[in-house]
Amino acid sequence: MTDQRDDLKDDDKTGISRRTFLGATAAAGVAGAGLSSGMIPGIKNAEASSKTNANGLKFHVDPGELDDYYGFWSGGQSGEVRILGVPSMRELMRIPVFNRDSATGWGQTNESKRILGDSSEFMNGDTHHVHGSYTNGTYDGRYLYVNDKLNTRVARIRMDIMKTDKIVTVPNVTSIHGIRLQKYPKSGLIFANGEMIIPQPNDGRDLETPANYWTMLSAIDGETMEVVWQIIVDGNLDNVDTDYTGKYACSTCYNSARGVTLPEMMGPERDWAVVFNIPAIEAAVKAGKYKTIGDSKVPVIDGRGAEKGGSKFTMYVPVPRSPHGLNTTPDGKYFIANGKLSPTVTIIEIAKVDQWFAGKFKDPRDAVIAEPEVGLGPLHTTYDGRGNAYTSVFLDSQVVKWNIQDAISAAKGKKVNYIRQKLDVHYQIGHTKATMAETNEADGQWLVALCKFSKDRYLPVGPLHAENDQLIDISGDEMKLVHDGPTFPEPHDCIMMRRDIVRPARLWSRDDPYFAETVAMAKRDGVVLEKENKVIRDGNKVRVYMTTTAPTFGLSNFKVKKGNEVTVVITNIDQIEDLHHGFALTNHGVNIEIGAQATASVTFTANKPGVHWYYCSWFCHALHMEMSGRMLVEA
């Protein structure tokens, strides 16, 4: 990993803040003049004016103050991931993943196209679930993983540079919805739910024979991002979570009738939560007891058999029909499935899952130890680490706080009210998530309600409304709504991570694998990227290498012929944190970001004879406007 920092509040690692640099160079009018001047204290804590609420938790983050948590939000139809500060709910950054990004050139640079791979033909995605990598049951700050429901992909984001670094298209399934990571000893495996059922293989056969449509859970290696095995199930897979020993994944599974129309899907009274026995599946794969489907080489295991309660790989726990969210309690004791159409949540005891797989009892339903009623339309549940659960109820537009042990006692006949509080949210809530809730360090400080609707809550902005991510203080006995946060549609889910876990780089490292292939290409061309400005002509191909340092490009012009395939490779040799340059080529749709110490490249065809200016598109210097050059295209 590249440059990492010990203390967020230190000033720039290089000892030169961007502010110092810009101020000094603006005065001197030349690059580099500010390098020896002193630091400007960048960040101050303004404790005096902090606002607290009735629970005493500070929710107002003053200018210059830092948030306590990083929030990672999926971006829904935008296909991206967003970074928010919590509790301020300030949006800090967007990470393009499956979308195209005009600011950074994601989807346009050669480096990003390599990562997008074959699927770079798609310009979009639909991200629902973002999760952080684990070591020993809690976040380790290495990676984020996110699904693409639209184009059946899973992407990984490196948390040091906060850029997408691998994407895999999952074979044999269509539409990846829920994803979760193995929590112990580390992730390990990424479990991805294929949602919709399709013929196997989906090559034109069985078009009119839905009885032959199936879907699968896929396991992806978190390091290589290769699909290592898949397992066929009865029904459609919705959401998934894992236990805290690395043994199980559990998915909600609807459409047990495997219908293809709504009435067919609504037929049965019960669907399932399916528990996957990971060691049993891995043993079968290792023993070669699998098949492959179509062109795919991925081992496929048969995990069907719901009518018998399951198989040695799967346990089908009956739950009320069309369940949705599935969330493991941070103590690792229970899987909780959310009823959606039923006003209940179903508590499955994981110790009983062990017993069932060991053959100690027959009916998987006996692993359900309580099914408390919480409200209308339960979608997702999150936890405070103090024994309370918080369930989003979509139809009631509420977050319902309830006590897990009390709900279990009530199911055993004890007269006890397990509901602690129902808080109105504004409104039509989808996911809800508490800080660190998906880890064994759930700390019960903040909870976010991701509301799908915000009508009447904000200034109207046309028929399309913002969504409303509401921040709720859960540190005390009572939930307190403290903040409304409008967001661009549609974050489905988010996670919130203590800030000490996240160690972002401040500058690129010259040996970063992100642009290693481009560096290798330069080497083949005999070009030293950090020093040389050179044009290499290779038949119809032209490779233009140049450095940038504020406020100049290494080449003030370069000449090509009409029809040349031009690759421009830029290396930003500035060493100043936050000092990016852009390479924007007019009338060619080219605009990419080059971070300090990074190399980025872009390839296009020069098909218009004439003079075409390129300019720096990221403000970098007092003479930023003058940072430009000409591409001369001969007829």
- Binding stretches for ligand CUK (CB under 6 A): 128-129, 177, 239, 324-325, 379-380, 430-431, 492-493
Q: Which residue has tokens 């098949």? A: 291
CA distance 289 to 429: 44
- Figure out which of the listed residues 407, 627, 631, 633 binds ligand CUA, where binding follows CB under 6 A: 627
Q: Which is nearer to ligand CUK, 325 or 629 (CB)?
A: 325
Q: How far is the CB of 428 from ligand CUK (least distance, A)?
A: 10
Q: Which does 624 bind (CB under 5 to 8 A by kind): ligand CUK, ligand CUA, none?
A: ligand CUA
Quote the least distance from Cβ 129 to ligand CUA, whole Å.
37
618 near ligand CUA, rule: CB under 6 A: yes
Q: Are 189 and 222 in contact (CB under 8 A)?
A: yes
Which residue, 104 or 346, is less far from ligand CUA as judged by CB?
104
Nearest residue (CB) to ligand CUA, 192 versus 576: 576
Q: Give yes or no for residue 131 binding ligand CUA (CB under 6 A).
A: no
341 close to 322: Cβ distance less than 8 angstroms: yes
Find the part of the chain contacting ligand CUA (CB under 6 A) among 144-152, 218-226, 442-450, 611-619: 611-619
- Here the tokens at position 113 are 């196209």
Q: Which residue is nearest to ligand CUK (CB)?
A: 430
- Looking at the Cβ atoms of 300 and 627, the one nearer to ligand CUA is 627
When asked if residue 142 is in the footprint of ligand CUA (CB under 6 A), the reply is: no
For the CB of residue 617, give the shortest distance to ligand CUA in the complex, in Å.
Answer: 7
- Nearer to ligand CUA (CB atom), residue 453 or residue 619: 619
Binding region for ligand CUA (CB under 6 A) out of 232-240, 328-336, 457-465, 613-621: 613-621
SS3 label, residue 527: coil
Closer residue to ligand CUK in complex, CB, 149/534? 149
Tell me the closest approach of the beta carbon of residue 348 to ligand CUK, in angstroms: 19
- CB 379 to ligand CUK: min, Å: 5
**Closer residue to ligand CUK (CB): 18 or 324:** 324
**Least spacing, CB of residue 325 vs ligand CUK, in Å:** 6
CA distance 401 to 417: 12
CA atoms within a 13 Å half-sphere pointing along the CA-CB vector of 469: 31
Per CB under 6 A, the list member of 619, 628, 630, 632 interacting with ligand CUA is 619
Q: Per rule CB under 6 A, is residue 156 in the interface with ligand CUA? A: no
- Residues forming beta bridges with residue 180, ordered by sequence position: 191
**Tokens 């992100």 -> residue:** 514
Beta carbon of residue 577, minimum distance to ligand CUA (angstroms, whole number): 15
Query: Which CB, 187 or 239, lies closer to ligand CUK?
Result: 239
Site for ligand CUA in 580-599 (CB under 6 A): 581
Distance between CA atoms of residues 554 and 573, nearest Å: 10
What is the β-pairing status of strands 467-473 and 446-451?
Answer: antiparallel
Residue 163 contact among ligand CUA, ligand CUK, none, beta carbon within 5 to 8 Å by kind: none
Per the CB < 8 A criterion, the answer to whether 634 and 561 are in contact is: yes
Nearer to ligand CUK, 128 or 163 (CB): 128
- Beta carbon of residue 629, minimum distance to ligand CUK (angstroms, whole number): 46
Span near ligand CUA by CB under 6 A; candidates 148-156, 255-263, 414-422, 616-624:
616-624
- Interface pick for ligand CUA out of 250, 624, 629, 633 (rule CB under 6 A): 624
Task: Characterise 505 by phi-psi region: left (phi > 0), alpha (psi -120 to 50), beta (else).
Answer: beta
The CB-of-202 to ligand CUK minimum distance in angstroms stands at 22
Strand, helix or coil for residue 601: strand
Q: Residue 347: which of 385, 313, 383, 317 has the closest Cα? A: 317
CA atoms of 461 and 335, how far apart (whole Å): 40
20, two tokens: 């110092």
CB 432 within 8 A of CB 491: no
Nearer to ligand CUK, 379 or 399 (CB): 379
CA–CA gap between residue 493 and residue 506 (Å, rounded) = 27
Residue 89 partner contact from ligand CUA, ligand CUK, none using kind-dependent CB cut-offs of 5 to 8 Å: none
Contact (CB, 8 A) for 550 and 627: yes
Instruction: Work out whether 550 is an interface residue with ligand CUA (CB under 6 A).
Output: yes
Min dist CB 23 to ligand CUA, Å, is: 16
On the question of a cis peptide bond just before residue 185, with omega within 30 degrees of 0, the verdict is yes
Among ligand CUA, ligand CUK, none, what does residue 620 contact (CB within 5–8 Å per kind)?
ligand CUA
Q: Which amino acid is at 204?
A: G
With contacts defined by CB under 6 A, name the span among 421-429, 445-453, 538-546, 617-625 that binds ligand CUA.
Answer: 617-625
Residue 554 CB partners (closer than 8 Å, separation 6+): 532, 533, 545, 546, 547, 548
**Shortest distance, CB of residue 452 to ligand CUK, whole angstroms?**
8
Binding partner of residue 379 among ligand CUK, ligand CUA, none, CB cut-off 5 to 8 Å per kind: ligand CUK
Which two three-digit tokens encode residue 571?
């290396």
Q: How far is the CB of 378 from ligand CUK (least distance, A)?
A: 11
Residue 425 half-sphere exposure toward CB, CA atoms < 13 A: 40
**Sign (positive or negative) of CA dihedral 96, 98, 104, 106:** positive
Question: Which of the listed partners (ligand CUK, ligand CUA, none) does 493 bind, with a CB threshold of 5 to 8 Å by partner kind?
Answer: ligand CUK
- Encoding tokens for residue 570? 């830029």
**Contacting residues for 242 by C-beta, under 8 A, at least 6 apart:** 180, 181, 182, 183, 191, 248, 249, 250, 328
Among 620, 622, 631, 633, binds ligand CUA (CB under 6 A): 620
d(CA 238, CA 276): 14
Count of residues making up the chain:
635
Q: How far apart are CA 584 and CA 590, in angstroms?
A: 5
Q: How far is the CB of 567 from ligand CUA (least distance, A)?
A: 20
Which amino acid is present at 183? K
Write out the residues near ligand CUA by the rule CB under 6 A. 550-551, 581, 616, 618-620, 624, 627
